[in-house]
Amino acid sequence: MTAAPLMPDIQVDERASADEVRAFFGHDRLLAAYALADLDPDNVDAARWWVARRGRDIVAAALLVEIMPFRPCFAMGESEALASLFHELREQRLILAVPPRGRSAVEQTYRFERVDVMRRMSVDRRGFAPGAPHPTTRLGPEHIEDLVDLYGEASRSYFSARRLEREIYYGIYDGRRIVSAAGTHVRSAHAGIAAVGNVLTRIGHRERGLATSVTSSVTEEALREHADVVLNVRQDNAPAIAVYERLGYHTHATFIEGPAVRRAPWERITNIWRRS
């Protein structure tokens, strides 16, 4: 554990236990849903985390998924503690997701190349309003080639047999071809949360309610095993937000997300000079 130079009363700790980090993220389990799933026993070996402490209390935390080539990183906590925490990180490039109030703290050390304002939407069993007018098919390992045809060849490394056995995917066929699909990115039995994503419909089949049907099917099955289902959507994607709201999803919080690079030393010095 090292003292953070930006805030002498903050200690950055790379050795906090998974249980400690899980408890901190549990303060806002819906916002931290992906990070909590990455801390599940089946996934935890792929993750690395840092916390910032004031005394014995954790006041900020960041979690990085190391096996992903694009290096996704989620962080939340007090702004001053986040600034100290990211100052200690040595990753050169990340896909960062943080609450909006944490942006200035992160940008003392990292520079966003692009920033998307995102909504974290959620639904539980009481609020869910099923809406699947089109017949959907549960997808498994035997449907990998069909999914790659829909999402593109770059998705081949993503859609492994193990993933399709573990996650929940539904699709709609037109003949022998999938024209719409959705699934879960991650699921956490420990936190009782599933995250829906990869909602995609072929251009020629859009505006027919297919995305609503596949998202409804995935959500309905996920809610049989989990207390809450969450998803991410861009703040400016009004048509998608309307679809999710019809299914009972509501906005829990907003956050920002985007690729970020570690600033060169001279940039960090300039930032400090500008703030002084």
Check whether residue 140 and residue 219 sit in a common domain.
Answer: yes
**Counted domains in the chain:** 2
Check whether residue 23 and residue 109 sit in a common domain.
Answer: yes
User: Residue 123 falls within a domain, yes or no?
Assistant: no
The CATH number covering residue 200 comes to: 3.40.630.30
pLDDT at 6: 53
Check whether residue 74 and residue 112 sit in a common domain.
Answer: yes
Check whether residue 84 and residue 180 sit in a common domain.
Answer: no
User: Residue 122 falls within a domain, yes or no?
Assistant: no
CA dist., res. 86 & res. 196, Å (int): 29
Check whether residue 196 and residue 241 sit in a common domain.
Answer: yes
CA atoms within 13 A on the CB side of 131: 17
Check whether residue 146 and residue 238 sit in a common domain.
Answer: yes
Check whether residue 98 and residue 53 sit in a common domain.
Answer: yes
Mean pLDDT of 20-37: 96
CA dist., res. 1 & res. 137, Å (int): 50
Check whether residue 60 and residue 159 sit in a common domain.
Answer: no
User: Residue 271 falls within a domain, yes or no?
Assistant: yes
What are the distances in angstroms from CA 217 to CA 138, 163, 187, 202, 272?
A: 9, 18, 16, 18, 50
Asked if the model's pLDDT at residue 104 lies above 60, the reply is: yes
Pairing of strands 193-201, 228-234: parallel
Tokens of 269: 């010095």
Check whether residue 30 and residue 105 sit in a common domain.
Answer: yes
The CATH number covering residue 17 comes to: 3.40.630
Q: Which of 43-47, 119-123, 216-220, 272-276 has the lowest mean pLDDT?
A: 272-276
Enclosing domain of residue 196: 128-247
Check whether residue 36 and residue 96 sit in a common domain.
Answer: yes
Tens of pLDDT, residue by residue over 222-260, are 999 999 999 999 999 999 999 999 999 999 999 999 999
Predicted structure pTM score: 0.88
